[in-house]
A and B are shown apart, each in its own frame.
Chain A
Amino acid sequence: MTTELSVVAPPAPAVRHAEPRLPVPYRVIARWPETPDTVTLRLDPVAEALADFVPGQFAMVHCFGRGEIPVSVSSIPTTGGLAHTVRGVGAVSEGLCAARVGDVLGLRGPYGTGWELERALGQDVVVVAGGIGLAPLRPLIRDAVAEPRRHGRVNVLIGARTPDDLLSKYETRRWATAYTGVTVDRPADGWSGEVGLVTRLLDRARFDPPRSWAFVCGPEPMIRATARDLVHRGVSGDRVRVSLERNMRCATATCGHCQLGPVLLCRDGPVVGWDRAEPWLSVREL
């Protein structure tokens, strides 16, 4: 895991693949386990590359012989090389987790909307991650801490089920933020950090709500709890950017599997403002 930042692939030529529905071959050039069931794969194009990803966007990652799944970028070429972090919970994701250095995967993308950190210029930043939700936020956090003068105070709040489920443990410690808080639901022996819901960390964070932008990723109940709490504290709903997940298949706004209310999340999401997302997430059938 300590090699995470030291292995930096040379930037690949940004050539958009002509057929967006065909996966482009990418080779696994580094692989490291993040947790017992989660792996990060650093990828390099075998030949032509996809267009540049921005933090928050996702790719359809193809495990040949098994299928493909949407995975947000957990690192982008400009700050550490293109990487995806995958949790093994099904046939495809377990196949991806089992990939070894040298194996070839297929990638389609980039798809969807990004976090758009640039909107938070000169403002306080609150990043809230739950579980594997830290992975899509990692490139955003790297950008935010790399140029601290562009923003006000940067806060990173991380929640996980147990200490073993925390991603990026070593990198997290190095982030120069106004406040980085880590909390778990179920502490293990020797855990001396916080225990409780990730929203409790908002009490410790340093931000001025009317002058803040928040970026939230994690399970949807956690997103709802966090976004509501942020709004309750005075952060405007349109300044709370959340990453939503639905059943994405085509990723090209064709099949409709990822429809949430009036939008298709593969095209209009996954990152949307809470002011738009809240009404949709309040409908029980959606």
Chain B
Amino acid sequence: MNTTTTSTTRITQALPSAHRIRLLRIAREVNIPQGTRLFEEGTRADRFWIVRTGTVTLDMHVPGRRSPVIETIGFDELVGWSWLFPPYVWQLGAEATTSVRAYEFDATAVRLMCEHDPQLGSAVGQWVGKVLAHRLQSARTRLLDLYAPYGSGSAL
């Protein structure tokens, strides 16, 4: 019986076990105190994380205002994808809203592994692509302003 997750974008579901094991070998287990900023928009994307416990929020800088939270990320989910694509710069900010235990990965090391092993590179690219597609689809659906009085759009 599946007691944990039905997600298809988590590393445990999306990556073949051999590739997952190779990646996890270079992971560092970290404890991130509540309130820690993991990264800031516009800075160099040199790491990424997979959350084991706790919650991370993604936010966007709005000049003169408190950064609004765009999305929350939890158990077994990927935090950060900008490390995979040039110019390797974070597009959003991230903060631990609870204390977080996570696997932290050195982005340069992972990119080098991917370059040396095209199969691993393809698997990692597909995994991150899946995560991106899922988040893009969610963001697009949210753009509909679903819960407005009449939903989005005009009646036929």
Residues of A within 8 A of B (CB): 37, 87, 89, 130-132, 159-161, 165, 183, 185-187, 189, 191-197, 199-200, 202-209, 211, 218-222, 225, 232-234, 285
Q: How far is the CB of A284 from chain B (nearest CB, A)?
A: 8
Which of B57, B76, B77, B141 is the one whose CB lies under 8 Å from A225? B141
Whether A89 and B151, one on each chain, are in contact in the complex, defined by CB atoms closer than 8 angstroms, is no
Residues of B in contact with A, size category: 35 or more
| B147 and A203 form a contact (CB under 8 A) | no
CA distance A221 to B72 in the complex (A): 21
Contacts of A208 on B, CB cut-off 8 Å? Answer: 1-3
Q: CB < 8 Å: which of B6, B55, B66 contacts A209?
A: B6
Q: List 14 A-B contacts (CB under 8 A).
A: A87-B149, A161-B148, A185-B145, A196-B71, A196-B72, A200-B71, A207-B6, A208-B2, A218-B147, A219-B151, A221-B152, A222-B147, A232-B8, A285-B156
A218 and B146 contact, CB distance less than 8 A: yes
User: What number of residue pairs across chains A and B have CB atoms under 8 A from each other?
Assistant: 97
Pairwise interchain contact B72-A194, C-beta atoms closer than 8 A:
yes
CA distance A200 to B10 in the complex (A): 12
Contact of B138 among A193, A200, A232, A285 (CB under 8 A): A200
Residues of A within 8 A of B5 (CB): 203-204
Q: Report the nearest A residue to B139, measured CB to CB.
A: A197
Q: How far is the CA of A186 from the CA of B142 in the complex (A)?
A: 10
The answer to whether A206 touches B3 (Cβ under 8 A) is yes
Contact indicator A197/B142 (Cβ below 8 Å)? yes
- CB contact under 8 A between A187 and B68, given known A159-B147, A161-B147: yes
- Min distance, Cβ B72 to any Cβ of chain A, angstroms: 5
User: How far is it, in angstroms, between the C-alpha of A218 and the C-alpha of B6 when the chains are bound?
Assistant: 22
Q: A87-B149, A203-B7, A203-B74 are in contact. Are A197 and B141 (CB under 8 A)?
A: yes
Most A-side CB within 10 Å, residue of B6, B76, B148, B152: B6
Q: Collect the chain B residues with CB atoms within 8 Å of residue A130's CB.
A: 146-147
Does A199 contact B138, Cβ atoms closer than 8 Å? yes
Complex contacts, B133 vs chain A, CB 8 Å: none
- Residue in chain A with minimal CB distance to B5: A203
Contact A203 B77 (CB under 8 A): yes
Contact of A204 among B9, B71, B75 (CB under 8 A): B75
B85 located at the interface, meaning its Cβ lies under 8 Å from any Cβ of chain A in the complex = no
Task: Give the docked Cα–Cα distance between A206 and B142 (Å).
Answer: 24
B36 to chain A, nearest CB (A): 16
Write the nearest CB–CB distance from A160 to chain B, whole angstroms.
6
Q: Is the CB of A89 within 8 A of B97?
A: no
The answer to whether B69 has its CB under 8 Å from any CB of chain A is: yes
Q: Top 4 A-B pairs ranked by shortest CB distance?
A: A131-B147, A161-B147, A233-B6, A197-B138
B2/A209 in contact, CB under 8 A: yes
1/0 per residue B98-140: CB within 8 Å of A? 0000000000000000000000000000000000000001110
